[in-house]
Amino acid sequence: MQVATISQSMHLAIAQINCTVGDIAGNSGKIVAAVSHAKVQGASLLITPELALTGYPPEDLLLREDFNQASETALIELAKKTQGITLLVGHPRVFEGACYNAASVLQDGKIIATYHKQALPNHTVFDELRYFKAGTTPLVFEHQGVKCGVLICADIWEANPAKLAKQAGAEILLTLNASPYHMEKQDSRHEVASQRVLETGLALVYTNLIGGQDELVFDGASFVLDRSGAVVQQLPAFEEALSLVEIDCSADNKANPNQAQVTPALAIEASVYQAITLGLKDYVTKNKFKGVVLGLSGGIDSALTLAVAVDALGADQVRVVMMPSEFTADMSVSDAHLMADTLGVRYSELPISPLFNLFRETLADEFAGLPFDTTEENLQARIRGMLLMALSNKFGSIVLTTGNKSEMAVGYSTLYGDMAGGFALLKDVPKTLVYALSNYRNSISTVIPERIITRPPSAELRHEQKDQDSLPAYEILDAIMEAYVEHDASHADILAMGYRAQDVNRVTSLIDRNEYKRRQSPIGVRITQRGFGKDRRYPITSKFLPKA
């Protein structure tokens, strides 16, 4: 007689998927496809990211009754399509007059349990208290004899939700996440998750969203920690994946994941490059723009922007325009043309000198006796912006602006000129990092002419102009900017770092008084701990002027 044996392992699957905010039908379809693939791989339980059904963050869509109703209807339909596997799915839930950030357990066509997120982040890019009410109770459900505790993203950044799950009988923690990328974020996630594991003695499965959503990029990089807090499985960053996790359910080692593939972490330059590439790709494709157009100046910022655009979208979706003036060096024109040829993009030259002279003639009486200054410099930038926007309007391509975070910080940019466009790819990338990313891209294949990287940066809006005529060296500017903007350091703190008072006063003063410009700039990919956008809400009108 054959004796039935109890399985010594449980197989669950992580669905690291790219969801689109508001595309409830499309997201549901992705989840259904993941369910099918997980079943084929032998998984009995599938975990999706936070708010996978609606995309994250839905923002003020959550204030619409029709949006919430569509989400509820889709959840019921999704449950009907979930057969032969248990699905843990993230979604918003309106319950007893309040909206919750929720996760439901779907099984055999039914919604068998729902959890409400307890820790609602309300800092940096997060604004969840505007939309959600916090849950107060844990959820533990049993699956193949293992008691699974459910957590959602910020829940693991505090000790209490995991503690409550353990007290409710959890033997493993399953966490759904929509954790946006910034540099070195993965180290923080590992550290915090490991802390929860060590506090509870429970293994943890971390499922994260990937994809671009306006200025945010979600990098995936889902992972699994065993009961010692060690990473035993690590999924790749910046790509969709469905990965099987084997949980040891033997009596001696119950609910402890087995060792599996650990994808090596990316270097900083590689991770940032992939982040801005994915952010641009998803912004253009999810919003159905007909490609991109950008001004190619022969300088480092537009060169990097072009390289990323081609990697994100393909050469056939990218158009570049060189718009030389009397101040444009011959090397700038030749380097721009060479790079365009190397990448195979459509290239045009539209000289702006005739238009610039016409403007100066029109304004001659008004400007009589006054010297050439930033007014004439800005006119050139605005002529270029007008030409790019005309091409955008005519052909449906979105204009990529090419300014970097250092320039945006101190106002070294022109309203309605080089700031004119739909997406600011390098908005959160400091100038020093622009150089590092350019060298990184060339280490894969040489697409940026070496002279563009090695020559001194210049806006080329007057004769013999160099950026450092108007600004401190970028190594100094970027360090002061990071301390002041990203870490809220005081002048005294920055002086203690060894910088001169005149540089600190100059840079911070420029940062503060150019907020009005940044408010009018396009959005761009966030890659630092605090970008100019959702992160930093600084008053334009302010009398607080700190000095060193």
Q: How far apart are CA 141 and CA 148, in angstroms?
A: 5
Terminal-to-terminal C-alpha distance of the chain: 86
Q: Supply the DSSP symbol for 483.
A: I
Long-range contacts of 26-35 (CB under 8 A, 24+ apart): 27/52, 27/53, 27/54, 27/55, 28/53, 28/74, 28/77, 28/78, 31/78, 31/87, 31/89, 32/78, 32/81, 34/242, 35/81, 35/82, 35/85, 35/87
Q: What is the DSSP string of 122-184?
A: -STT--GGGT-PPP-S--EEEETTEEEEEEEGGGGGSHHHHHHHHHTT-SEEEEEE--B--TT
Q: How far apart are CA 466 and CA 405, in angstroms?
A: 18
Q: How far apart are CA 397 and CA 192, in angstroms?
A: 42
At position 442, the amino acid (one-letter code) is N
Using alpha carbons, select from 267, 126, 122 the residue that is nearest to residue 184. Answer: 267
Q: Which residue has the tokens 């999704």?
A: 78
Cα 184 from chain centroid (whole Å): 13
Q: Which H/E stretch holds residue 346?
A: strand 346-349
Identify whether the C-beta of residue 510 lies closer than 8 Å to the C-beta of residue 470.
no
**Catalytic site residue from 19, 30, 117, 166:** 117
Is-catalytic flag, 99? Answer: no
**Catalytic site residue from 128, 153, 254, 431:** 153
Q: How far apart are CA 157 and CA 530, in angstroms?
A: 19
Per-residue exposure over 40-54, b if at least 16 CB sit within 10 Å of its own CB, e if not: eeebbbbbbbbbbbb
Q: How far apart are CA 473 and CA 471, in angstroms?
A: 6
Is-catalytic flag, 543? Answer: no
Q: Side by side, which strands form the sheet with 346-349?
A: 346-349, 318-322, 292-295, 398-401, 423-424
Q: How far apart are CA 332 and CA 335, in angstroms?
A: 5
Is-catalytic flag, 153? Answer: yes
**Catalytic site residue from 30, 50, 286, 431:** 50
Using alpha carbons, select from 523, 534, 495 the residue that is nearest to residue 419. Answer: 523
At position 429, the amino acid (one-letter code) is V
Q: Supply the DSSP symbol for 526.
A: -
Q: How far apart are CA 153 and CA 175, in angstroms?
A: 6
At position 348, the amino acid (one-letter code) is S
The residues facing 246 across adjacent strands are 11
Q: How far apart are CA 375 and CA 356, in angstroms?
A: 12
HSE of 155 in the Cβ direction (CA atoms, 13 Å)? 33
Residue numbers annotated as active site: 50, 117, 153
